[in-house]
A and B are shown apart, each in its own frame.
Chain A
Amino acid sequence: MSGSAAVSGTASDAVSALQLALTAEQAAAYGYGVIGAHLSGAQQAAATADWIAHQVSRDELEKLLSARGAVPAAAAVAYRLPVSVQTAAQARTLAVLLEDRVTAAYLGLVALSDRALRKLGAEQIRKSALRAASWRDATVAFPGLTASAK
């Protein structure tokens, strides 16, 4: 690893950011399974569509990591959900929380110097912000960022 310090520094930043995004996508894919079980009709259909979107993104991140010679982080068998889900309203709250975490994770890709990864990060932030806004039934000024941070 000491051969090309300048390049490996950048490459390891990319791997770390991709792994964080992967972890968030895995948690979202798991969470949407729970969310869908508590919804019905059009909302369940929306949850299913979002669930598939997270699975596709997860697979894409795994490919990007493998292409960089990294081993994609393994998904957990089960995740401790940030909220307990018994009702449809709680299911929607969980969807918002999961999307916010995914959005924040992809901000790590946007900070990289690799233009392709930066572009991917920005596209995913837009998509997760759109999903979050739909579940929240409201928009926010700074998706993925804390409101107070500079």
Chain B
Amino acid sequence: MAADPTRRTVLAATAALPLLAAGCKGVGALAAPPQPAPDVALLRDVIAAEELMIARYQAAIRLAPGTGASAGSAGAAAGDGTGLAVVLRSLLSQHQAHLARLSARLIVPAGSRYPPALSHRRTPAPRLPSVPHQLAAHLAAAERAASGRLARQLLAAPPSLAQLLASISASEATHVPVLRTAGRIG
């Protein structure tokens, strides 16, 4: 075998693999649904982590001072607290951009056992501390962990996915000091 199928760099190329295998086994083998490649498993894992991060932010924004429902909390100084919700919304929009770009890469061959979207799996609402500085610290720790995880995962990814994961990992690392600052003032 001159070509090594494990060295492919395009996820969509998985579509060809079952057909090659089928060629050796006869027509009956065509009935077997194609298996997603290991890259797809990695991508799904990264997407699930990004969805969890988005769920955390959505829950945090509901708790953050300056978000309607919790406005008017006792002891809030003038302008105090309005910053955190604004910061959280801005960071959330970047996570939504991460998710969109990751999801665009999830090309699963037709007939695969797995649907291309992850809508069947609902991320449970995460439990978060309600005190603003603890909330910001909690998110900062989650960002830091997510960034580190991506930095390890990219080592096993195909080149262009590795570049995207490196960029997202860096973006999440930059959220950490922003949250720490927002936690101090919010």
Contact = CB atoms under 8 A, between A and B. Distances in A.
Interface of A: 103, 107, 110-113, 115, 118-119, 121-123, 125-126, 128-130, 132-134, 139-145, 150
Interface in B79-98: 90-91, 93-94, 97-98
Nearest to B175: A139
Contacts of B169: 122, 125-126
B97 A130 contact: no
Nearest to A116: B155
Given A139-B174, A143-B170, A115 B155 contact: yes
A142 B178 contact: no
Interface in B141-186: 147, 151, 154-155, 159-160, 162-164, 166-171, 173-175, 177-178
Given A113-B159, A122-B154, A150-B104, 9 more contacts: A110-B154, A111-B163, A118-B155, A119-B151, A130-B173, A139-B175, A141-B93, A143-B167, A144-B166
A102 to B, nearest CB: 12
Interface residues of B, number: 29
A130 B162 contact: no
Contact of A142 (B151, B162, B168): B168
26 contacts: A107-B167, A110-B154, A110-B166, A111-B160, A113-B159, A119-B151, A119-B155, A122-B170, A125-B167, A126-B147, A126-B151, A129-B174, A130-B170, A130-B174, A134-B177, A139-B175, A139-B178, A141-B94, A141-B97, A141-B98, A141-B171, A142-B101, A142-B171, A143-B171, A144-B166, A145-B163
Interface of B: 90-91, 93-94, 97-98, 101, 104-105, 147, 151, 154-155, 159-160, 162-164, 166-171, 173-175, 177-178
B174 A143 contact: yes
Contacts of A118: 154-155, 162
A141 B100 CA distance: 11
A148 to B, nearest CB: 10
A109 to B, nearest CB: 9
A145 B171 CA distance: 11
A103 B97 contact: no
Contacts of A139: 90-91, 94, 171, 174-175, 178
B174 A133 contact: yes
Contact of A111 (B101, B105, B159, B175): B159
B170 A126 contact: yes
Contact of A122 (B98, B101, B151): B151
Nearest to A134: B177
Contacts of B98: 141-142
A123 B154 CA distance: 12
Contacts of B97: 141-142
B56 to A, nearest CB: 17
